[in-house]
Amino acid sequence: MIRNIVFDMGKVLLDYDAVAVCRQYTQDAGEIGLIRRELFEGPEWKLLDQGLITEAEAIKRIGGRLADGRLVRLAEECLVHWHEYNLSPVPGMDGLVRDLKQAGYGIYLCSNVSLRFRVFEKEMPGAEYFDGMLISAEEKLVKPDPAIYERLFARFHLRPEECFFIDDLPANIEAARRCGMDGYCFTDGDETALREVLRRRLPVRFPA
């Protein structure tokens, strides 16, 4: 019987625009494209999610590739402030989290995200209803590594067969299933469709 709902964050609870922050500091399309490639799509971003480097170390490494003082400062501003501009709530998800909590389900987070998450975690839809949050940078594990799911179960004393996982990437759902946790791939941002899936799958009803 499903007793707990485990959410991913990006593209599930919070939508993500990788260059929105860049537009706060430059309107030059070339510079925006460069920051996207070197910062948000560069290897340092994944290392930050893994908790293997600090933001200062990331900027030092990126700065070596940019080799231009102004662009390095631009990258640093974007790294420090990305969460203020790149993230926006997925419509309806705050209400869904609330309804699930009120129906008696445990609510948990399992997300690939850097330590900066702790700066904005309370802005996440339904944050006040979560019973536990496990983030990759603190664990030095990232999805779809099965070890991160095992860490989730152990940390919060959960049985995988009693959990249902909502993520936007098929590989993450498949890995969770191999660990005994079923799930649903949420790819279109349609909270109404997700709500209907959950109403069919969950033993305790909650509002339509």
Give the CATH number of the domain where residue 126 resides.
3.40.50.1000
**Does 192 share its domain with 140?**
yes
Clarify whether residues 59 and 103 are in a common domain. no
What is the percentage of the chain residues whose pLDDT exceeds 70?
100
Please say if the pLDDT value at position 116 is more than 90.
yes
Q: Is residue 80 part of a domain?
A: yes
Q: Which amino acid is at 168?
A: D
CA quadruple 46, 47, 48, 52: dihedral, nearest 10: 160
Query: Is the previous residue joined to 144 through a cis bond, with omega within 30 degrees of 0?
Result: yes
Q: How many domains does the chain have?
A: 2
Does the structure show a pLDDT above 90 at 204? no
Q: What is the DSSP letter of 129?
A: G
Residues in contact with 15: Cβ distance below 8 Å, sequence separation at least 6, in sequence order: 87, 88, 89, 90, 189
Q: What pLDDT does 117 receive?
A: 98
End position of a domain, from candidates 85, 101, 132:
85
Structural domain containing residue 174 = 4-14+89-201
In a domain, 206, yes or no: no
125, part of any domain: yes
Q: pTM for the complete prediction?
A: 0.95
Number of H helices, E strands in the chain: 10, 7
Is the same domain home to 81 and 93?
no
Q: Compute the distance between CA of residue 48 and CA of residue 29 in angstroms, rounded to an integer.
A: 26
Q: Are 47 and 60 in the same domain?
A: yes
Check pLDDT > 80 for residue 208: no
Instruction: Check the CA dihedral 36-42-48-50 and report its sign.
Output: positive
**Pair 181, 121 in one domain:** yes
* Domain end call among 30, 58, 85: 85
Q: Which of 85, 112, 129 is the last residue of a domain?
A: 85
Residues 81 and 97 in one domain: no
Confidence at residue 78, expressed as pLDDT on a 0 to 100 scale? 97
Q: Do residues 142 and 191 share a domain?
A: yes
- Report which DSSP code applies to 17: -
pLDDT for residue 109 is more than 90: yes
Q: Do residue 121 and residue 161 come from a single domain?
A: yes
Give the 3-state secondary structure of residue 123.
helix
**Taking the C-alpha atoms of 130, 136, 138 and 140 in order, what is their torsion angle to the nearest 10 degrees?**
150
